[in-house]
A and B are shown apart, each in its own frame.
Chain A
Amino acid sequence: MFGYYFDLARRSLIRSPILTAMMVLAIGLGIGASMTMLTVLHVMSGDPIPEHSGQLYYPHLDARPLSSKDDKNAPDPSANLSWIDASNLLRAHQGDRQAAMAGGSVLVRPAQTSLRPFFETGHYITADFFPMFDVPFRTGGGWTQVQDEQHERVVVLNGDLARKLFGDTSATGKIVRLQDTDFRVIGVLNDWYPQPAFYGDTSGHAFGKTDEFFLPLTTAMDLKFDSNGNMSCWGSGGDQRTSGECTWLQFWVSLDGPTKVHAYQQFLEDYWRQQQAHGRFARPVDAKLYGLLAWLDHMQLVPGDVRLQLWLALGFLAVCMVNIVGLLLAKFLRRSGEVSVRRALGARRRDIFLQFGVESAVIGVAGGLLGLGIAQLGLWSVRHRPDDYAHLAQMDVSMLLGTLVLAIVASVLAGLLPAWRACRITPALQLKTQ
């Protein structure tokens, strides 16, 4: 039966090639534009660390005075912690693992004279960072809390920087000069570039190869290395970084199971009250504990532009769909005579409906294939854009299948009304006027 309907659809579509081409083109363009933007949104809002995201939490405290107002255009100062609060949370050791961190860029001075000095971005972190995020090492490993406390000059390099500095030879144990200080390389990562770089200050660059080195936060403080990312202050103190009135550090804690999460939440609230007793934290207690994905959502990693483009693409798809409904209606009703003959020969309404449904689906498949091509073209153009998320714009299998399904669903939906109208044709009237 389907084979027969399929054959009928093929004949009918070939009979009016221009109309068919236009319908396929319309659905292809609509699907292509929508899928391009959906893919970009999909890759940008993906889970950067699927095995562990369920156990990772970001504590949210707000040490600002009451008078500080929120500025919609500026990064949220309470998204980060001050040095004092981060140190307190680290020392309290209430989670399974916890680490404080800040992004930074340092001048790398290669030993070989062929390379000029260059700036590289990385993170200043505490010891638990590596085991907590299950960071994959190619060689060597991280450092211990004792090394943190001793402000040791050790560094872990990411894949790209290690290759750039030491080629194919093992970097572990080598010395690398950062700013004006020698650091011993104790580990090399296996090209670890989670997308987005969820752990850092995501109000800046969160996509792309953001971090090429990791070194102890205490050491970076010691050497007064510059930090990147947003630093917000409200005091008028001297050295700002160690004060409790400047927020610039990110803090992550891993908690296994809901009881521990609940306990940590309780601990944060107690901490807030305790700080109030010391004359800090003027605001009413409002400690939050975000899960990793909730935190990324809170930080709104997907730029407004991308969402706007998605809306635009969906609006465009809607225009295309209405267009196809109209064209299918015209096409099906034009064949009233044919329908009437079939009805007169015994075909039921259901059969007519099915026949036109199959025809819509055939258009959908063709449109979907075209849409797939257009989406690939769209993604290719996104990849050539200057945004930092550009290189991510690749389709995975699920989006590939999604495109086809969306195209078929869209075209069958578009075919519903015309097919229904066509099967309501009164055969007698049509046959008489013929």
Chain B
Amino acid sequence: MEIRPILASLRKHRIPAILIVLEIALACAVLCNAVFMIGQRVVDIHRSNAIDERGIGVITVDGSDPKMASSDIPRNLGRLRGIAGVQAVAVTNTVPLSNNNWGWAFGATPDSRFNDAVNISAYFLSEGGDKALGLQLLQGRFFSSDEYADSKRGSMPLVDTHVVIITQSLAERMWPGQPALGKVLYSKPLAYTVVGVVADVLRPFVNSQKAWYSTFFPLSPDGALSYYVVRSAPQDRDRVVRQAQQTLSELNPIAVVKGHSYTDIRERYFANMSSMAWMLVLVCVVMLAVTAFGIVGLTSFWVQQRRRQIGIRRAVGATRGHIMQYFQAENFLLSTAGVVIGMGLAFGINLYLMQHYEMERMPWYYLPGGAIALWLIGQFAVFGPARRAAAVPPVVATRSA
């Protein structure tokens, strides 16, 4: 395939050629960034969460008298255990993705303050909380009954105990490459020894890579505990949640009692993100369609302008295939110029967004990905006009316009 005649002809039609290149470049830049944003949201939405998400129901009890907690909570838990199909029950201060965060900062040395402390989320569990949530122990042990019984809170923001279970991600952040068991988390004047490491559990409020910095503390019945976690087989879950909600609202007439399955809680948390992701998908599709149509329109115009030249080429021996190839090659050249500029533009936009918004660096493979997509669209769009060009009969050459 000779490229030089194509270049020569493009030089004669500079403005339409530049327009096609520009359109492809813009589309490529927007596409790469939009697809990257979609990808990031999909990653967010599918973040792993090592609890029994499908079997858990959560019933919140708000507004009960905190002074009665020590008698109310064992009574409530006892009644919940009586519901048919319930495998485990516990009460916690919050659950992952509930938006109700109990945050604190811990360091790895006794003097850690502000500078090197890590922000974490604290989960307080009543006895059996590990089973009710379905935590997956990787190292060490869960809390003992004594540790649950001895742990009090009073008016303090954190609990008065000396043991903690942390997630794998947090263990790696605090003590990279070292075993976390037996190490101590400090926050003056508090100190907690790590007795267990569990698979990653999400925080109540997720942002960036720190999504799994969760810690678990034992706690005896306390006013802070208001999230009743009920675990059952997934097929029983909805019924169990309904019954549990009813039981708890009968037991606590003055409180506000609300029950949800955990899958609902997760879905609600990510609802914004998934609606945004769908919007991005829609914009991408429409944009590509518009781009394709623009290419069709301009190439058709070109074909019509060059009917005579095409006729002459046919008359002196070019086959239909040659004519098709000519337009396809021309489009390929324009697309290539477009995606080269587009990739540079996409990279620049990504840098700008990184500076001004919470955006990460786009992995390099998005760029060739976007390029290939636009190449394909270009070839797809040019196919119709090229076929029409190939259909021009050689006899056109002999007619004067």
Residues A386 and B275 in contact in the complex (CB < 8 Å), given A117-B63, A326-B16: yes
Verify A333–B297 contact, CB threshold 8 A.
Answer: no
Verify A325–B19 contact, CB threshold 8 A.
Answer: yes
A117 to B256, CA, bound (A): 6
Q: Which of A307, A318, A334, A421 contacts B15 (CB 8 A)?
A: A421
Asked if B309 CB lies within 8 Å of chain A CBs, one says no
Q: Which of B16, B29, B63, B188 contacts A107 (CB 8 A)?
A: B63
A67 to B33, CA, bound (A): 38
A412 to B34, CA, bound (A): 28
Residues of A225-249 contacting chain B, CB below 8 A: 234, 236, 238-240
Verify B62–A119 contact, CB threshold 8 A.
Answer: yes
Verify B62–A107 contact, CB threshold 8 A.
Answer: yes
Q: Which of B208, B283, B297, B301 contacts A33 (CB 8 A)?
A: B283
Verify B115–A67 contact, CB threshold 8 A.
Answer: yes
Asked if B43 CB lies within 8 Å of chain A CBs, one says no
Residue of B nearest to A385 (CB): B275
Verify B254–A117 contact, CB threshold 8 A.
Answer: yes
Verify B23–A326 contact, CB threshold 8 A.
Answer: yes
Verify A116–B276 contact, CB threshold 8 A.
Answer: no
Using an 8 Å CB-CB cutoff, how does the interface string of A104-136 with B read, 1 for contact, 0 for none? 000101000000111100000000000000000
Q: Which of B26, B33, B114, B358 contacts A318 (CB 8 A)?
A: B26
Chain B interface: which of A69-77, A275-283, A291-299? A69-77
Residues A385 and B15 in contact in the complex (CB < 8 Å), given A68-B114, A323-B290: no
Asked if B155 CB lies within 8 Å of chain A CBs, one says yes
Verify A386–B279 contact, CB threshold 8 A.
Answer: no
Task: Say which size band chain B's interface belongs to.
Answer: 35 or more
Residues A322 and B301 in contact in the complex (CB < 8 Å), given A315-B30, A327-B294: no
Contacts of B256 in A (CB 8 A): 107, 116-119
Asked if A425 CB lies within 8 Å of chain B CBs, one says no
Q: Which of A65, A118, A239, A322 contacts B23 (CB 8 A)?
A: A322
Asked if B353 CB lies within 8 Å of chain A CBs, one says yes
Q: Which of A19, A308, A387 contacts B37 (CB 8 A)?
A: A308
Asked if A320 CB lies within 8 Å of chain B CBs, one says yes
Asked if A312 CB lies within 8 Å of chain B CBs, one says yes
Verify A330–B300 contact, CB threshold 8 A.
Answer: yes
Asked if A50 CB lies within 8 Å of chain B CBs, one says no
Asked if B366 CB lies within 8 Å of chain A CBs, one says no
Asked if B287 CB lies within 8 Å of chain A CBs, one says yes
Using an 8 Å CB-CB cutoff, how does the interface string of B274-307 with A read, 1 for contact, 0 for none? 0110011001001100110110011011001100
Verify A330–B301 contact, CB threshold 8 A.
Answer: yes
Asked if A304 CB lies within 8 Å of chain B CBs, one says yes
Verify A319–B358 contact, CB threshold 8 A.
Answer: no
Verify B20–A326 contact, CB threshold 8 A.
Answer: yes
A347 to B129, CA, bound (A): 87
Contacts of B29 in A (CB 8 A): 315
Contacts of A222 in B (CB 8 A): none
Contacts of B20 in A (CB 8 A): 326
Verify A385–B357 contact, CB threshold 8 A.
Answer: no
Residue of A nearest to B20 (CB): A326
Asked if A305 CB lies within 8 Å of chain B CBs, one says yes
Asked if A434 CB lies within 8 Å of chain B CBs, one says yes
A118 to B256, CA, bound (A): 6
Verify B297–A19 contact, CB threshold 8 A.
Answer: yes
Verify B298–A313 contact, CB threshold 8 A.
Answer: no
Verify B290–A29 contact, CB threshold 8 A.
Answer: yes
Verify B291–A319 contact, CB threshold 8 A.
Answer: yes
Contacts of A323 in B (CB 8 A): 23, 290-291, 293-294, 297
Asked if A329 CB lies within 8 Å of chain B CBs, one says yes
Asked if A259 CB lies within 8 Å of chain B CBs, one says no
Contacts of B279 in A (CB 8 A): 309, 381
Verify A387–B294 contact, CB threshold 8 A.
Answer: no
Rounded to whole Å, the gap between the CB of B159 and the closest CB of chain A is 16
Chain B interface (Cβ < 8 Å from any Cβ of A): 15-16, 19-20, 22-23, 26-27, 29-30, 33-34, 37, 62-63, 113-115, 119, 155, 157, 188-189, 207-208, 210, 254-256, 268, 271-272, 275-276, 279-280, 283, 286-287, 290-291, 293-294, 297-298, 300-301, 304-305, 349, 353, 357-359, 401
Task: Add 11 more A-B contacts to A19-B297, A312-B283, A322-B294 (CB < 8 A).
Answer: A109-B254, A236-B189, A304-B358, A312-B37, A312-B280, A319-B23, A319-B290, A319-B291, A326-B297, A330-B300, A421-B15
A sample of 16 inter-chain contacts (CB < 8 A) reads A67-B114, A107-B63, A117-B255, A117-B256, A311-B353, A312-B30, A313-B283, A315-B29, A315-B33, A319-B290, A326-B20, A327-B294, A333-B301, A333-B305, A386-B275, A417-B15
